Amino acid sequence: MLGVSCWLWDYLRRSGQGGFFLPLNGGIDTSSISVLVYSMCNMVIKAVDRGDEQALHDIRRVVGESDYVPIEPKELCGRIFVTCFMGSESSSEESKSKAKKLSGQIGSYHMSVLIDSAVTAVIGIFSTVTGVIPKFRARGGSVRENLALQNVQARVRMVISYLFAQLMLWARNRAGGLLVLGSTNIDDCLRGYVTKYDSSSADINPIGSISKIDLKYFLLHAKSEYNLSSLEGIIGEMELENVHQHHRGGGGEEGDMGMTYEELSQYGKLRMSERCGPHSMFNKLTHSWRSKASPEETAKKVKLFFRFYAINRHKMTILTPACHVEPYDPDDNRFDHRPFLYNSGWRWQFRTIDNALRKIDLKHRTLEEEVKKKTHHGKERKCFDKDCSGKGPGFAPVKGEGGSSNGDKKAASSAEILSF
């Protein structure tokens, strides 16, 4: 992750801006970005302490003070990093508290605002024109109404972010503006679990090519490396969500998406690095997932992924520029030039998966019948007389320990074949 911190610093010093602005919600994604900026400040301090004149010149230009000498990462972070918790009536106090604690430990200039009045104003324009008032699902609204209102909230946050980024330094009697940081990870982009022109739309995105799993490991490292105890609750929330997902079969982001972040990482690598479409991905995963999922379950998962991938691919055309880390980066403008309009039914591809499933099922049934026949044949050889104790006149033992027959051994081998 040090490479991403270097990338942030290089972009900041070249842009001519006075720092960064981030809508901090207390989750894994935005918290990771906050720590990356804090890590960047640590690197700048170390460079200045080593006598790096260029680094000192650059940081003085960024903060707008010709004689400024950075003292510690926390102090520098307070000058060049502004964070804001943008809550609504449905936001939890826990999330607000997590954002505040983290910002306090890294030293960012932090604020908390409510966006409900702005959301109400936007909805009011629509209601004035149409004569109808959309409602959240919790208040009796439909799924379509609920999604539209959630999108309004998300997009209002983007508008407020750019307003604060443009005027916060003015309000603090400093020249220049701030770069808005996006906070969408690579797996959410691949699945399309983003809203156009929300937090995924910004000036740059430090984590746009980093998986959710890697972000968690990064925070675990940063917690001990920088002594950030506030990250404990943020990391624990993701682990608790995974437990709920395992025991209840749903809940949280992974429950909403219908797939886990671990699965999304596998899909991304197969789709990009191995050039897999639906059918070839199904073939590979049927083998690699044989101990945890049946071919039918694997087929269902692959179809679900490609359906959402096709529906949401258009969102990749407006992705914020990100630091390129993973080879399966879905950025349509730079690293993954593909069509953005797909037939989400994938009729031919899904039909080939169904045909493959039928062949697998037929193979299993054929093997089962062979096992039954061989097992039955072995019993007939051993028990063609009424006395099957091994002492009757009709008993014909076959060479093998304990009087077991070659037929039994073959049956056992066939049974092992079925166990794959």
* Residue 381: predicted pLDDT: 54
Question: What is the three-class DSSP state of 306?
Answer: helix
User: Given pLDDT bands bounded at 50, 70 and 90, which one contains residue 383?
Assistant: low
Residue 321 dihedral angles phi and psi, to the nearest 5°: -55, 130
- Convert the pLDDT of each residue in 9-40 to its tens digit: 999 999 999 999 999 999 999 999 999 999 99
* Residue 340: predicted pLDDT: 86
* Residue 238: predicted pLDDT: 63
- H or E element in which residue 113 lies: strand 109-114
**At which residue do the structure tokens 């992750």 appear?**
1
* Residue 413: predicted pLDDT: 41
**Which tokens is 200 given?**
């995924």
DSSP 178-211: -EEBP---HHHHHHT-S-TTSTT-SSBBTTTTS-
Report yes or no: 20 and 80 within 8 Å, Cβ to Cβ.
Answer: yes
Report yes or no: 272 and 259 within 8 Å, Cβ to Cβ.
Answer: no
* Residue 276: predicted pLDDT: 96
Q: Kindly state the percentage of the chain with pLDDT values over 70.
A: 86
- The answer to whether residue 382 scores a pLDDT higher than 70 is no
Beta bridge partners of 82: 21, 109
* Residue 370: predicted pLDDT: 80
- The answer to whether residue 250 scores a pLDDT higher than 70 is no
The top-scoring range by mean pLDDT among 126-140, 238-252, 404-418 is 126-140
- Convert the pLDDT of each residue in 154-169 to its tens digit: 999 999 999 999 999 9
- Convert the pLDDT of each residue in 195-227 to its tens digit: 999 988 999 999 999 999 999 999 999 999 999
Arithmetic mean of pLDDT, 309-313? 95
Higher-confidence residue of 71 and 396: namely: 71
- As a whole number, the mean pLDDT across the chain is 87
**Which tokens is 130 given?**
């149409």
If one counts every other C-beta atom within 10 angstroms of the C-beta of residue 228, the result is 20
Residue 276 dihedral angles phi and psi, to the nearest 5°: -90, 135
- The answer to whether residue 176 scores a pLDDT higher than 90 is yes
Report the distance separating Cα 361 and Cα 364, nearest Å.
5
CA distances in angstroms from 196 to 131, 241, 319, listed in the order given = 26, 25, 9
* Residue 368: predicted pLDDT: 79
> Considering only 115-129, 209-223, 369-383, which range has the smallest mean pLDDT?
369-383
- Convert the pLDDT of each residue in 251-282 to its tens digit: 578 888 989 999 999 999 999 999 999 999 99
Beta bridge partners of 205: 322
* Residue 322: predicted pLDDT: 94
DSSP 380-392: HHH-SSS--SS-S
Residue 248 dihedral angles phi and psi, to the nearest 5°: -105, -10
User: Given pLDDT bands bounded at 50, 70 and 90, which one contains residue 411?
Assistant: very low
Convert 37-46 to b/e letters by CB count within 10 Å (16 or more is b): bbbbbbbbbe
* Residue 163: predicted pLDDT: 98
For helices 261-272 and 278-288, angle between their N-to-C axes, nearest 10 degrees: 130
- The answer to whether residue 403 scores a pLDDT higher than 50 is no
- The answer to whether residue 353 scores a pLDDT higher than 60 is yes
Residue 267 dihedral angles phi and psi, to the nearest 5°: -60, -45
User: Given pLDDT bands bounded at 50, 70 and 90, which one contains residue 414?
Assistant: very low
Arithmetic mean of pLDDT, 292-316? 95
User: Given pLDDT bands bounded at 50, 70 and 90, which one contains residue 118?
Assistant: very high
* Residue 200: predicted pLDDT: 84
- The answer to whether residue 352 scores a pLDDT higher than 50 is yes
Arithmetic mean of pLDDT, 65-89? 96
* Residue 373: predicted pLDDT: 78
Higher-confidence residue of 109 and 408: namely: 109
**Which tokens is 354 given?**
């169904």
* Residue 401: predicted pLDDT: 43
Report yes or no: 270 and 190 within 8 Å, Cβ to Cβ.
Answer: no
Beta bridge partners of 81: 20
Question: What is the three-class DSSP state of 371?
Answer: helix
Q: Starting at the edge strand that comes first in sequence, how are the strands of the sheet with 20-23 ordered?
A: 109-114, 81-87, 20-23, 179-180
289 Cβ contact list (under 8 Å, min separation 6): 298
* Residue 239: predicted pLDDT: 58
- The answer to whether residue 185 scores a pLDDT higher than 50 is yes
- The answer to whether residue 349 scores a pLDDT higher than 80 is yes
Provide the sign of the torsion angle of the four alpha carbons 251, 253, 255, 260, taken in this order: negative
